[in-house]
Amino acid sequence: MTAAVPLSLLDLVRVRQGRDAADALAEAQDTARLADDLGFTRYWVAEHHNMEGIASAATSTVLAHAGQGTRGIRLGSGGVMLPNHSPYIIAEQYGTLARLFPGRVDLGLGRAPGTDQATLRAIRTTHQRAEDFPQDVMELMHWFEPDDEPGRIRAFPAAGAEVAFWILGSSNFGAMLAAELGLPYAFASHFAPDFLHEALHIYRSRFKPSRHLDKPYAAIGAHAVCAPTEAEARRLFTTTQMGFLGIIRNDRRLSPPPVDDIDAVWTPRERMQVERMLACAVVGSPEQMKDGLTKLQAETGADEIILMSEVWDKDARRRSLSLTAEAWGVAPR
């Protein structure tokens, strides 16, 4: 049995209750190595700021650390929130990664700030910077060109380095930009599935072939928790559900352990909100995981599924990833 489409992993590098960021970063390295061994296509981390429960704010540093000991898995950002940065500096950072891990680096780009207004001021940027996102993307891509004209500014060691550019999004804007630039597109259906089908249609119908990509390539995000039984998987999934409940309540804390009765934690209204945000989650036994991912892929035509697996217990998380890969037919490296 072989996988219908590739599976990849987005790791938020979550900090668990009773542990700290050092523990989360050590686990990130272990998780990247496991994902590599299991045959996942990519290991991505995402930029978030002012969140004590997420240790991946400095994406390039986390990837350099997590990628140590991996052999073939691609390493990348899912993504870098480009309005927070100078394109030149991001080129230097990811150009460095491309020299450390040649032929294996993805640079996924988003235009959301990834934080609140007060933190944006600390970053020294504003919401208005998002309006320059298309121009910033093109500038960033320029810095990787192997231009050796004397006297021109170059972003060493990015100049001439190989990276794969991606556009990320949770609305139609990213779909249109990815289509216009002829880049692969990843939709954030793991937390904002409302515009999933519309965005994919726009991306595919407007896609313009480029030197980067000759036809549309769309990845979708999905939470996935797998255990030997459905009951155990659903209990483990309460960690994710409580994390999204914290978003709704504006009470984001460290990753909590699972609970036996999630209905005792939230209100019926909160449950509906969380379930809407997690509409693309697949939770259950290996057979249910295979069926759920198959259905999700068939409904969207996704070329790749990028999983998130926020399981509080480290060993249970490793088992979840292993069972998922086996159920889907991913070939180990």
DSSP assignment of 49-79 equals -S-TTB--SSHHHHHHHHTTT-SS-EEEEEE
* Beta carbons of 208 and 180 less than 8 angstroms apart: yes
**How many CB atoms sit inside 10 A of residue 246's CB?**
16
Q: Where does residue 66 rank: exposed (0-12), middle (13-18), buried (19+ CB within 10 A)?
A: buried
Question: What are φ and ψ of residue 216, in 5° steps?
Answer: -60, 145
Is residue 99 included in any domain, yes or no?
Answer: yes
276: its two tokens: 């809407």
Q: Which domain holds residue 32?
A: 7-225+281-310+321-328
Is residue 134 domain-resident? Answer: yes
Q: In this structure, are residues 302 and 4 in contact, taking their beta carbons and an 8 Å threshold?
A: no
- List CB contacts of 294: < 8 A, sequence separation 6 or more: 4
Cα–Cα distances in angstroms (integers) from residue 324 to residues 24, 178, 223, 240, 275, in the given order: 22, 29, 11, 17, 21
Structural domain total, the chain? 1
Instruction: Assess if residue 288 is contained within a domain.
Output: yes
Whether 128 maps to a domain, the answer reads yes
CA distance linking residue 96 with residue 144, whole number of Å: 11
With beta carbons less than 8 A apart as the criterion, state whether 183 and 165 touch: yes
Q: Are 196 and 131 in contact (CB under 8 A)?
A: no
In this structure, is residue 208 part of a structural domain?
A: yes
CB neighbour list of residue 70: distance below 8 Å, 6 or more residues apart = 32, 33, 36, 43, 101
pLDDT digits (tens, 9 = 90+) for 130-187: 788 999 999 999 999 987 666 688 999 999 999 999 999 999 999 999 999 999 999 9
- 316 falls within a domain: no
With CA atoms as reference, report the closest residue to 262 among 283, 279, 240.
240
**Residue 39 zone, left/alpha/beta (φ > 0; ψ -120 to 50; rest):** left
In this structure, what token pair is assigned to residue 319? 């088992």
Query: Could you give phi then psi for residue 184, rounded to 5 degrees?
Result: -65, 155
pLDDT in the model for residue 148: 67
Q: Which of 224, 230, 237, 284 is CA-nearest to residue 265?
A: 237
Dihedral, 91, 95, 96, 102 alpha carbons, nearest 10: 160
- Closest to 321 in 3D by CA, of 299, 306, 300: 306
Low-confidence ranges of the chain (pLDDT < 50): none
pLDDT tens digits, one per residue of 81-114: 999 999 999 999 999 999 999 999 999 999 986 6
CATH number at residue 14: 3.20.20.30
The answer to whether residue 100 is domain-embedded is yes
Residue 247 lies in a domain: no
